[in-house]
Amino acid sequence: MSELGRVKQWNTFARCWHLFDATWQNPLECAPTIEKYLKGFHKPIYHPFVDCGDHVVVMNSKQIAFPGEEWRRRVYFHHTGYSRGASWTPAWILHDRDPTMIFKKAVYHHMKGNLFRRVVMERLHIFSDSNVPEEIMENITNQIRPLRPRPKPLESYSKKEIEEFPKIIDYPNDYVLSKN
Amino acid sequence: MLTLRTINRILKVVKTNQRCEQSFHRWLAPTLRELKRRKDALGPEKPVHRKTYIEWNYDTELYAFSKRLGEEFNNNLLQQALTERSYIVSEEEKQKSVGIDQPLLDLADNSKLVTKGSNFIDDIVNRYLHTVLPRLPEEGIIEIQKYLTSTETLSHISFHIGTSELILCADFPVEKLTLANVLKSITAALVESSGNGRATAFVRDFILTQIADKDLHQFWKPEEPIKLLSDILARDNVQSPEPRLIGCSGKNTLLACFRVGLYTPHNKQMIGLGFGETVDIAHEMAARDGLRQLFGLSDTILLPFNIELENLCASNTKNLSVNEWSQMKLSPQSKHLEFYQTKIISSN
C-alpha cells in the first residue's frame, strides 16, 4: 500500500468522540441514538463485520428522566446464581446506588445480544455529573443533539424576570404561590 | 402348509447366503489408496509443454494467436518474433548429436526484432506520458516509464496474451526475460506487418493501460516534500505555505487522527490537505498533496487512454525538472493539452 493509501485508510477509520448530555432525557429513548454512534451506523463505510464505531461520552446521567410511574414500576432483576438468589430492585433504588447503571443497562439491553455487544459497550463512557476528566474532554469533537428540549425550572429565572412576566390575572394578596 | 409369503422369505435368505452380495467393492478403496501412495512417492509432476500433446498444431496456433489479438501479421515475421536464439542453438545441437555435420535450419531468431521493438515501445510510452502528464516533472515521467517498460510488467502482459506456449526457446517454463523480449519482438513484427499506427494502438491498449488501476504516486516520491513545495512556490514569488491544524479526533488515544491544511499567506487559499496519525505526518502528507495538485497528478486523475494517436507529442519533448519547476515556466502548449484532456474526459 502506498503512503497515501495508508493515511487515507487511517483517516477513514479514525474513531470520533461524541458528547451526549443526558439531563432530562429518557434513557430508553436515547438508547437507539447512542447505539447508532457506538456501532457506526451513521457512516457510509458501515458493515456488520467492520469495526467502525465511535466513542460516546454521556454526562449528567444522574439527571435522566423517566415518564409517569416508571421510577417506581420499572424493576431490575438480578440473580446471584445460588438458590433464593433472585432480587428485584426498583429503578429509583438502583439509581440511588449507582447513577450510571440505568443508562448503561438501557443501552446494553437495546442492543442485540451477540459477541460484539460487550466490545461495543466498552466505547460508552458514562459519567453521573458534568465532571468529565480533562483527558477525555480533549478527545471530543462532536456533540449529539438532545432528543428532548431541556425544560427551564422556575428557580433558574431571576426575580426580575418573574415580575416582568405578563400576567393574565392579579392574585389576591393572601394567595400562596410557592413556599420559597 | 407353508404360505406363499414364508416360502419367498426362505428363498431370499438362501439366495443371499449363496451369493454374499455387498453394495460396494471392498477392493476399491485400498487400490485407490495404493495408487495415491505411489503417485505421492514419485513427487510432484513436472510441467509439460503443450507441444508434447498429440494434437498440437503450431501453425494453427500461430494463426489463432494473431486473430485473437485482432492484428494482421506477416506469418514469417510472427514466427521469427516467437523464436529465441536458444531454441536454434539447441535444435542444431540435437541434429549434430544425430550425426548431421552441417545442420540446416530455416529459422531466424528475434534478437533484431527485440531491439527494434524495445525502442518503439520506449518511444511511444515516453511520448504518451509527456502528452497526458505535461505538468509532471521529468523525474516522475522517467519513473513511470521505468515501471511500464520493466521486465516484470512486460512479462506479465506477454504471459496473459498467451505467448508462453508459442515461444520457441530452450527453457521451459519460460523465463520472465524471454517473455518480455517476445512482447517487444511482437510489437516490432507488428510495425513491419501493419504499420506504425496499428503498432502504436497495440502498445497503448496492452502496455499503457497497465497504469490504469495503479496509484501513480507510488512510482515517484520526491524527498523532503515540505521544502520542495516552498521552493517551487518561491520560484512563483509566493511565500512558503502556512500549515494549520484543521481537524483532529481522539487526540489522547492510540488511534489519534490529525488533518493539516496548507494555506498560502497572501490570499488564504488552501493548497494542500493531509492527514495522519501525528501532526508531522499529516503536515508532510499535506505538502505531498500540494505537490500533486501542482503536478496535475491528483488522486482522482483519469488518464485519457482513448487519446487520438496523431496527437501524441514529439519524441524530444521534455518536461521541466523538479529543480526548475515553476508555474510560470510551464509551456503554453502543455496547458492547451490539459484542456484537450479535460474535453476528452468530459465528452465520454
Alpha carbon distance, N-terminus to C-terminus of chain A: 70
The verdict on a CB contact (< 8 Å) between B217 and A2 is yes
Closest Cα partner for B339 from B300, B347, B147, B83?
Answer: B347
Listed in sequence order, the DSSP H helices in chain B are 4-19, 28-42, 58-69, 75-81, 85-98, 111-132, 138-148, 151-160, 176-194, 196-206, 225-235, 279-294, 332-347
Looking at residue B51, what is its pLDDT?
Answer: 87
- Judged by CB atoms closer than 8 Å, whether chains meet at B249 and A14 is answered as yes
User: What was the pLDDT predicted at B18?
Assistant: 57
Q: Give the residue-averaged pLDDT of B156-175.
A: 92
B217 touches chain A (CB under 8 A): yes
CA distances from B33 to B40, B41, B48, B166 (A): 11, 12, 26, 38
pLDDT digits (tens, 9 = 90+) for B305-316: 888 888 888 888
Lowest mean pLDDT among A65-79, B92-106, B185-199: B92-106
Name which of B144, B246, B257 to mutate to probe chain A: the one with the most chain A Cβ atoms within 10 A of its Cβ. B257
Q: Tell me phi and psi for residue A42, to 5 degrees.
A: -80, 0
Looking at residue A83, its pLDDT comes to 96
Residue B153 amino acid letter:
T
Do residues B190 and B202 make contact, with C-beta atoms less than 8 angstroms apart?
Answer: yes
Calpha distance B297→A114 (Å, rounded): 46
Domain assignments of chain B as residue spans, ordered by start: 58-215, 218-303+319-347
**Is the pLDDT confidence value at B250 over 80?**
yes
Q: Would you give the DSSP letter of residue B26?
A: T
| Interval B85-94: pLDDT, tens | 999 999 889 8
Listing DSSP states for B34-57 in one string gives: HHHHHHHHH-SPPP--GGGSTT--
| Euclidean distance between CA atoms B100 and B102, whole angstroms | 6
What is the amino acid identity at position B187?
T
Residue B99: per-residue pLDDT: 86
Written as nine digits, the cell of B307 is 487519446
Q: Which CATH code fits B218-303+319-347?
A: 3.30.160.20
Give me the residue from A2, A4, A15 closest to B249, CB to CB: A15
The residue ranking higher by pLDDT, B26 or B106, is: B26
| Residue B291 clears pLDDT 70, i.e. is over it | yes
d(CA B278, CA B260): 10
Q: pLDDT tens per residue, chain A (180 residues)?
A: 788 889 999 999 999 999 999 999 999 999 999 999 999 999 999 999 899 999 999 999 999 999 999 999 999 999 999 999 999 999 999 999 999 999 999 999 999 999 999 999 999 999 999 999 999 999 999 999 999 999 888 889 999 998 898 989 888 888 887 776
- Measure the N-to-C terminal CA separation of chain B; round to a whole number of Å: 96
Contact A58, A125 (CB under 8 A): yes
Supply the ipTM of this predicted assembly.
0.81
* Domain locations along chain A: 11-148
Confidence of residue B100 (pLDDT cuts 50, 70, 90): confident
Q: Comparing C-alpha atoms, which of A110, A68, A76, A69 is closest to residue A93?
A: A76
Three-class SS state of B313? coil
| pLDDT at A124 (0 to 100) | 97
Q: CATH 1.10.10.10: does it fit domain B58-215?
A: no
- The CATH number of domain A11-148 is 3.90.1180.10: yes
Task: Inspect the interface and report whether the beta carbons of B253 and A15 lie closer than 8 Å.
Answer: yes
Least trusted range by pLDDT, from B22-36, B185-199, B332-346: B332-346
Nearest CA in chain A to B216: A2
CA distances from B237 to A153, B268, B284 (A): 62, 15, 22
B285·A7 Cβ contact <8 A: yes
On the question of pLDDT at B340 being above 80, the answer is no
Report pLDDT digits (tens) over A118-143.
Answer: 999 999 999 999 999 999 999 999 99
Smallest Cα distance from B285 to chain A, Å: 7
Question: Nearest-CA neighbor of A101 among A132, A120, A124?
Answer: A124
Q: Looking at the partner chain, which of A3, A11, A15 has a beta carbon nearest the beta carbon of B250? A: A15
Q: Which residue does chain A place closest to B278, by CA atoms?
A: A7
Bigger pLDDT: B322 vs B192: B192
Other residues' Cβ atoms within 10 Å of the Cβ of residue B86: 15
Return the residue matching grid coordinates 495404493: B34
**pLDDT at site B315:** 83
The size of the A-B interface in CB pairs under 8 A is: 55
